Structure 1
Amino acid sequence: MKHIYLILFLCFSFLSNAQVLKGKVVNEQGEALPFARVGVLNTSYGTLTNGEGKYVLKLDTNFVQLYIRVTGYEELVDSIQLKPGEQIQNFTLLTEALEFEEVVISEDSKKSRAMAFMREVIAEKKQWEDKLSNYSMDMYVLSSIEMEVPDSMLYKLPSGRKKMNLNEMVTRSFYQDPGKYKDSVRAYLDLSDKSNAGGVSVSIQMDGNSGLAPQQAEMSNPYLFVQGSKDADVNLFKNSQEISGVSTFNVISPLSSLAFLSYTYDIAELYYDENNEKVYVIEVIPRFQEAALWSGKLYFHIDSKRLLSADLSLSQSALNYFKEFHFICDYTFEQNRVFPVRKEFIYSLKERKKMYHGAIRIKQDNYAFDKGDYKQKFWLTPSVVSDSAYDRDSMYWIYERPLPLKVEELTFIFKQDSIKRYHQSEEYLLKRDSIYNDFSVLNLIFNGVGHRNTFKKQSFRVIPLLEQVVPLGVGGYRHRLGVEYTKGTKSHKDFMINPLIDYGFRNKDVKWQFNGYFKYNPLNFAKIGFEVGDIYDFMTSYQSIQGTIAPANRMRNKKWSVYHFSELTNGLYLKASMEYSDRINITDIEYPEWASLFGNFQKPNDFEGYRIFMTELYLEYHFQQRYKIRDGEKIILGSKWPVVSMKHKMGVPNLLGGQSNFSYVELKLEDDIDLKNFGHTDIYALAGSFLYKENLRAVEYKFFRTSDRFFFSNPVYSQQSLDTALSTANSYFQLNFIHHFKGAFLHKVPLINKLKLEETVGGSYMAIPSSNFQQVELYAGIERQFRIKKTIFKLGAYAVSSKSSYGPAQLNFKFGINFYNAFYDKWDY
């Protein structure tokens, strides 16, 4: 019965897609020719073969003349009579024979004509860009990834493909300058091989301020990078743009106002189209192979200078994950506008020894250019998913799918649809829980062991062994044991409790902590929480690496606290808390003999113990914060505007025995600025002061961390040459900035550009007026990107020059690591 359903499914699919031509392009030895152009003669319409040499074309005629071309082989032109439905047509190309012919038009003449023509095109391109400043349209996206399956006998050669992922999406999408996108998702189909689903890239925050906004991550596969109209919008009319998920660099368009600094052009072909209008095929040639530039061909009407089609590839050095990346786009001319109607992204990537091939096909139609009266709030939710989007059945997709699918794709959909139904069954959920609940040594070491019940939405976990072992704890080696219990509901409310016991073997001292929370409104993150315990706590949590483990930064803390956190309105977060603490020095703690290896800083801080009752109010505002609602939960997507915050702390005397009496306020501003071709800047400004301090103890002072000796700590928040831990009970000011040029200069220097280095500059200023202290830092460095699977990071070397009130000028050399967060499309710094 299952096979009958599959046959009917395929038949209905073929009936809905008339005139589909597909096949394979090979050479004389039968070897596949990837990225060969298969196009309709005397038009700009065509596609590329994938890594296996296969192509698919949807045609609206009964007769067609095709050309097939790829570098190193003779061009083939063939006439084909089409039949209704799907038709297979394979092509074999012959190796190009090198012949010397008489040159009628010199290459210099062709290039000069091409350059002159492109100057005219670029002079007029602004009008086409302006006419696309506001529009809405229907969009269909089909994304798929295949993995090469090695031959069992000849393991170096692929014997076929294994379909890994296939996604489909139907939206009504909106755009408005500058850079506002919104997708109303009508239908979404996610069929993936879950064993190879791949998540977002890893981002590790080494140090810095996290702020109040929830730090969220949403599982997605960065290899399927088109998740909406923003990702699909490769707009050649813009001077440059960063293509989300493809490149962290700004890619300069071959139609840029400054394109001649980055490109040269040649006339590759001249032909007459079906309307007997002359068409130029302009070859785009990048001047710098290591820069983020396109190469390929652009098709133009000669008289009107209108863009008809683009067939381009992006330089490998500019790519995040991909080994090769090709972009095809067809444009139409209506309502006195030029706009895209068909796009294809064809790419390949290698992960360890596995080769993957991806293809994303997009159709855009039903454009409307009348300016809608959309308020700013309309754009704050870039993605709105209809209630039925994830529940569309197979027949819906058969009739709504505008692009042809291959038989293997249709078969994959049928099989994965069956798997998807099974994954929602009670039998599967029980099996998944049982796998999670199984004990293994690896889980014990790295993930912890526990028990989960999906139906009751509860889980219990013992922390992993790596978290239990604390070799450099207070008093030497300590061992801690913690458990975490969570319980959720269908409405996404949940609570968590987390008890922890900490034992020091040398001093035979037991410390403990118990915390938890209850989230009662998932749409505004509203929750109440508590913490109680007797622990060895940090005097200041934001410290250098060596300062973190130093007993001089530790004390005994017998405390309890309660807090309430919520988002008052979109982007405005409030956390209010109160805390009681009995703070005791730890000078009586004994340390093992090996502690002397770490020097004098191992000595605990000898201060007079005291009790404090403290309140804290923390407000943070993200201007025009973007978000989306999915499955009853709000997912934060960030903001393009500065983030401002205010923190107020107050020590209340005589309440519950509190001895401190002070008031303190701090203001903060953070911003990141995209300067397009000139790079990216991060700015951080901090100012604070104690309003009064009748009874203020040293633990409540404002601390500034010492710099790590060789490590380049996050320059947005820290100094690089502060060799003394500073604190103040008065006012202070701090300003940090870093600018990444993203290879704007080094990528254009011959030979050096082969190293793929990026240049970075920055600096900071810090002042504590009451101590007559000021410090100025300037630094410059070079960085290089690396990728390990889905994780992208930069390694950098920096020279730091500084001058402070407390000593002579210094010059230090440091090394750093900077991680890329694919979900937020930004670096740690």
Structure 2
Amino acid sequence: MCLTLLFFPAFSQNISGFIKDENNNPVAFANVFVRELNTGTATDAKGYYFLSIDPGVYNLVYSSIGYQPKTIQVIISDKPLKQDMILPASNAQLNEVVVKASRKDPAYEIIQHVIDNKEKFLTQVKTARTQVYLRATEVIDVKKKKAQADKEEAEESSKEGPPLDQFAAEKKKEEERLQRINMVEMQLTLNFQYPDQYKEERTGFKAYGSKEGLFIPVFNESDFNFYQNLVYLKGISEVPVISPVSKLAVLSYKYKLEEVLVENTQVVYKIRVTPRKTGDATCKGILYINDSTWNINRLELTLEKGGLKFYDAFTIKQTYQNMGEEVWIPSRQEFIYQTKAGAKSFQGNTVWVFTDFQKDYVFPPKFFGNEVSITTKEAYERDSSYWKSARAEPLTIDQQKVIAYRDSVEAAHKTKAYLDSVETRFNKITVGEVLYHGVGFRKEATKRNIYISPLLSLINFEVIGGFRLGPYVSYFRRFENGRRLYTSASFSIGLKNTDWQGSIGFWTRYQPYRLGDVSVRAGRSFHSINSFDAYLNQLRISNYILHEHVDLFHRIELVNGLYLGTELGFHNRHSVEDYDRTSIINRVIDEDDPLVFENYQALISTVRLAYTPKQRFMSEPNQKVVLGSKFPTFSISHRRGWNGLLTSDVNFDYIELGIEQNLLLGTLGNSRYALMAGKFVNTKNLPYVDLKRFRQSDPYLYSDPLHSFQLLDTSLSATGLFLEGHYIHHFNGAMINNLPLIKKTKIRTVAGAGAMWIQQSNYRYEEVFGGIERIFKLGARRRLRLGVYGVISQTNHRAPETGYKISFDIIDTWKREWSY
């Protein structure tokens, strides 16, 4: 028997019992921690615990939220030990709503501790620098219907010829699969200064395939800090997300303590977060909270689908790392997103890995500013050896295959033989191009393109005289330094009046970083006096003159946010009274009389200054990418008609001031407004064509609410002072999405107003409108917003009127913003 004990250790025993409070109620999820073993367990919902342990002497610590901890010493022998414990209540006072909730689940008290301590974790890092490795991957899956797949398989098996090479077929299938995987790798240095200043220095960037559908945020615009009360997710969500640890989070969320974990001596509470009501400003998922320090250990939260702009689902995972002195920082973030379009599904994954964290880093003066990201030229030239050493997280098998495949394809596409084959294939003229699409010629090496319009587009239509016949050609070139050049020319002959018209234009971006553009355009055409007028008015003859012109335009950014635009045009203006003006339009709109005037010349200049304070931007090697600002855009413009110069007959001066801004109002939605004021300060010889005009409203169609009115029943003009203002607010589900039945319809509310005053006629106009909008998916990333609105308007010359409008708006996929 003694020999047996030498070769077999003593069997483990156990200790168990119940933990209760002073009123003999069970304490659920209480902690039982063994100091000597750095491990422990937790009680179940009935307050019962069980712990397997080797014989010996141990110190056990019993603790729970809201109770005073107790420590006892126990001796574990060769028999099971039963040890109950009574925990006295803590003297800590909690918020009433939290106290009531904590009686149901201790998670509420844990969350309250996090809320009480979160200010410390928000402010504990004043400055920092860290390295970030980013990898974004998108997998596109195409699901074919069973009937279609069976048909393709039958067609393949029925083909005559030699037996199918299974190896070649599998290789082709695998290449097709890899073609549907896109990936980007990026290495950067991230600099931070409290409270919200970020600056990225991108030192490595490599794209494998298209990056269009990948989530690659700018840190300055997407701060996923859930210690903030509201988490703004620009480009992802229409509204900011209420953090589960915001000061009033208990009003928006329910909490449940699911498990108590012990990780390397750290007690961690696993808490499920559930919205009290399904709204676009909430999220759901899991929070892991550290005991004692009351900070976030890690989280996994999914955003509500209704608030997402482009995605059908979006999940955020964060893991924090202890840097000592109770400093916990994110060490890894992962974003999982997906969307569908027809038979295609798009599964995306973006990972950030943070390394080499340097707290209290000393930055030089004025290091942080409006430039929030800079990419070096070398970043795009990194080779495979660089990425092997830079990757902070290993590649998956599929990612390794994608890189190998894309690199081989890229190498093949750079060969002269491939470029020549692409040119030959693109430059081949087909019947379809000649008839429908237009003929194009491309030079791959120099990035040149020539385009000639197809035969069908030779026929054009004008309000004056009807059908015209003529071609259109264009030339485009992109230079390695980011400069671009575009020229075009057109010519046409009227079938009814046998008159010629045409134009030639030249445009170049000569200074990409300062957005410097120059353009020259000359031609002869029928010109709309008010091209912004109601659609039906665009079909009226009285809205047109014959316009022979030469126009010069220049625009450049003088300093960040300050833009100067200048324009000089010489116009020879004629009445169209001598033209045969009849066309098929007369069947819909009665022919009206044209403007009758003697021919005259007009030399007109325009100078416009626009300034946006604190405009944020990204610097690329050959261009500047503007991100916007929290401040308004102020503008002033001066338009002058020069008398006597180059035989010019006009003489006037017009000045206009403007302010526009987009306001983010948290969970209440977002607002936009535009204010304008203008006046002709000189009207010595002011032609009718150059008056300040106000757009007549379209029947039924809703027009841009920031630059037009919805129930203005006539076109107006002004020479004296005018004041104009517009406002629109999108609630983004803030009001009605708390109603379950309404939320299912995905309808959102919108409201706005507009007003105008014209001094010379003492004309005053006001309107208010409200409506509902719904967003429809047109594809993986394209969205249509359909709206229906009710409008009430009044003037000082008529009684109030009402009307209804509908709108159609397509989201800008580049800016990820709507038109209004």
- Quote the residue 1:249 is aligned against: 239
Q: Distance in 1 between matches of 2:807 and 2:193?
A: 39
Task: Give the AA of the match of 1:127.
Answer: K
1:273 and 1:519, CA in 2 relative to 1: closer, same or farther beyond 3 A?
closer
Q: Kindly report which structure 2 residues correspond to 1:207-218, keeping only aligned pairs within 5 A, or say none.
A: none
1:148 and 1:566, CA in 2 relative to 1: closer, same or farther beyond 3 A?
closer
Moved more, 308-317 or 370-379: 370-379
Per-residue CA distance 1:614-661 (angstroms, 9 max, x = gap): 222122223223333334233333333211222111111122221111
- Quote the residue 1:813 is aligned against: 804
Q: Distance in 1 between matches of 2:123 and 2:533?
A: 50
Instruction: Name structure 1 gaps, 5 residues minimum.
Output: 1-41, 43-106, 198-219
- Quote the residue 2:317 is aligned against: 328
- What SS does the aligned partner of 2:737 have? helix
- What SS does the aligned partner of 1:545 have? coil
1:596 and 1:473, CA in 2 relative to 1: closer, same or farther beyond 3 A?
closer
Per-residue CA distance 1:114-146 (angstroms, 9 max, x = gap): 223322322322332233564332111111122
Q: TM-score, normalised by structure 1?
A: 0.79
Match 1:473 to one of 437, 455, 463: 463
| Contact 2:181/2:402 (<8 A) preserved | no
Q: Distance in 1 between matches of 2:711 and 2:514?
A: 41
Cα deviation for residue 472 of structure 1 reads 4.8
Whether 1:169 aligns to 2:186 is yes
- Quote the residue 2:751 is aligned against: 761
- Quote the residue 1:286 is aligned against: 275
- What SS does the aligned partner of 2:709 have? coil
Q: Distance in 1 between matches of 2:137 and 2:738?
A: 35
Q: Distance in 2 between matches of 1:165 and 1:662?
A: 57
Q: Distance in 2 between matches of 1:312 and 1:584?
A: 66
Match 1:126 to one of 102, 108, 119: 119
| Contact 2:541/2:581 (<8 A) preserved | no
1:651 and 1:320, CA in 2 relative to 1: closer, same or farther beyond 3 A?
closer
| Contact 1:226/1:232 (<8 A) preserved | no
Q: Distance in 1 between matches of 2:680 and 2:749?
A: 40
Q: Distance in 1 between matches of 2:195 and 2:101?
A: 40
Match 1:676 to one of 666, 673, 677: 666
- Quote the residue 1:420 is aligned against: 410
| Contact 2:102/2:109 (<8 A) preserved | no
Whether 1:296 aligns to 2:285 is yes
Match 2:606 to one of 616, 625, 631: 616
Q: Distance in 2 between matches of 1:561 and 1:297?
A: 61
Match 1:145 to one of 138, 141, 144: 138
Q: Distance in 1 between matches of 2:598 and 2:798?
A: 31
- What SS does the aligned partner of 1:115 have? helix
Q: Distance in 2 between matches of 1:561 and 1:109?
A: 73
- Quote the residue 1:577 is aligned against: 567
| Contact 2:335/2:349 (<8 A) preserved | yes
- Quote the residue 1:65 is aligned against: none
Q: Distance in 2 between matches of 1:241 and 1:443?
A: 50
Cα deviation for residue 427 of structure 1 reads 2.6
| Contact 1:185/1:384 (<8 A) preserved | yes
Q: Distance in 1 between matches of 2:314 and 2:643?
A: 65
| Contact 1:225/1:244 (<8 A) preserved | no
Cα deviation for residue 376 of structure 1 reads 6.0
Per-residue CA distance 1:313-351 (angstroms, 9 max, x = gap): 222222233333322211123344332111122233222
Aligned residues: 696
Whether 1:822 aligns to 2:813 is yes
1:267 and 1:520, CA in 2 relative to 1: closer, same or farther beyond 3 A?
closer
Cα deviation for residue 466 of structure 1 reads 7.5
- Quote the residue 1:501 is aligned against: 491
| Contact 2:107/2:255 (<8 A) preserved | yes
Q: Distance in 1 between matches of 2:145 and 2:583?
A: 59
Whether 1:183 aligns to 2:200 is yes
Per-residue CA distance 1:399-427 (angstroms, 9 max, x = gap): 22121222222122112111122223323
| Contact 1:242/1:250 (<8 A) preserved | yes
Q: Kindly report which structure 2 residues correspond to 1:329-728, keeping only aligned pairs within 5 A, or say none.
A: 329-334=318-323, 335-370=325-360, 372-373=362-363, 378-440=368-430, 443=433, 448-463=438-453, 468-487=458-477, 489-592=479-582, 594-600=584-590, 602-728=592-718
Task: Give the AA of the match of 2:725.
Answer: L
Q: Distance in 2 between matches of 1:452 and 1:719?
A: 45
Match 1:795 to one of 783, 786, 795: 786
Per-residue CA distance 1:677-734 (angstroms, 9 max, x = gap): 1111111111111111111111111011111111111111111111100001111111
Task: Give the AA of the match of 1:173.
Answer: L
Q: Distance in 2 between matches of 1:568 and 1:500?
A: 34
- What SS does the aligned partner of 1:722 have? coil
Cα deviation for residue 735 of structure 1 reads 0.7
1:404 and 1:456, CA in 2 relative to 1: closer, same or farther beyond 3 A?
closer
Cα deviation for residue 774 of structure 1 reads 0.8
- What SS does the aligned partner of 2:744 have? helix
| Contact 1:290/1:756 (<8 A) preserved | no
1:185 and 1:302, CA in 2 relative to 1: closer, same or farther beyond 3 A?
same
1:251 and 1:656, CA in 2 relative to 1: closer, same or farther beyond 3 A?
same
Cα deviation for residue 665 of structure 1 reads 0.9
Per-residue CA distance 1:8-40 (angstroms, 9 max, x = gap): xxxxxxxxxxxxxxxxxxxxxxxxxxxxxxxxx
Moved more, 313-322 or 531-540: 313-322
- Bigger Cα Rg: 2
Task: Give the AA of the match of 2:734.
Answer: A
Cα deviation for residue 442 of structure 1 reads 5.6
Q: Distance in 1 between matches of 2:531 and 2:433?
A: 29
Moved more, 444-453 or 804-813: 444-453
Over the matched positions of the two proteins, sequence identity in percent amounts to 27
| Contact 1:150/1:156 (<8 A) preserved | no
Q: Distance in 2 between matches of 1:603 and 1:435?
A: 53
| Contact 1:292/1:317 (<8 A) preserved | no
- What SS does the aligned partner of 1:478 have? strand
- What SS does the aligned partner of 2:385 have? helix
Q: Distance in 2 between matches of 1:167 and 1:581?
A: 51
Whether 1:136 aligns to 2:126 is no
| Contact 2:144/2:343 (<8 A) preserved | no
Task: Give the AA of the match of 2:317.
Answer: I
1:769 and 1:400, CA in 2 relative to 1: closer, same or farther beyond 3 A?
same
Q: Distance in 1 between matches of 2:457 and 2:252?
A: 52
Task: Give the AA of the match of 2:807.
Answer: G
| Contact 1:241/1:676 (<8 A) preserved | no
| Contact 2:220/2:372 (<8 A) preserved | no
1:593 and 1:456, CA in 2 relative to 1: closer, same or farther beyond 3 A?
closer
Over aligned residue pairs, what C-alpha RMSD do you find?
Answer: 2.8
Q: Distance in 1 between matches of 2:239 and 2:126?
A: 23
1:349 and 1:111, CA in 2 relative to 1: closer, same or farther beyond 3 A?
farther
Task: Give the AA of the match of 1:166.
Answer: M
- Quote the residue 1:113 is aligned against: 106
Q: Distance in 1 between matches of 2:146 and 2:754?
A: 61
Instruction: Name structure 2 gaps, 5 residues minimum.
Output: 1-30, 32-99, 151-172
Q: Distance in 2 between matches of 1:622 and 1:749?
A: 39
| Contact 2:524/2:549 (<8 A) preserved | yes
- What SS does the aligned partner of 1:826 have? coil
Cα deviation for residue 178 of structure 1 reads 5.8
Cα deviation for residue 748 of structure 1 reads 0.7
Q: Distance in 2 between matches of 1:623 and 1:479?
A: 49
Q: Distance in 1 between matches of 2:457 and 2:752?
A: 36
Task: Give the AA of the match of 1:642.
Answer: P
- Quote the residue 1:73 is aligned against: none
| Contact 1:252/1:259 (<8 A) preserved | yes
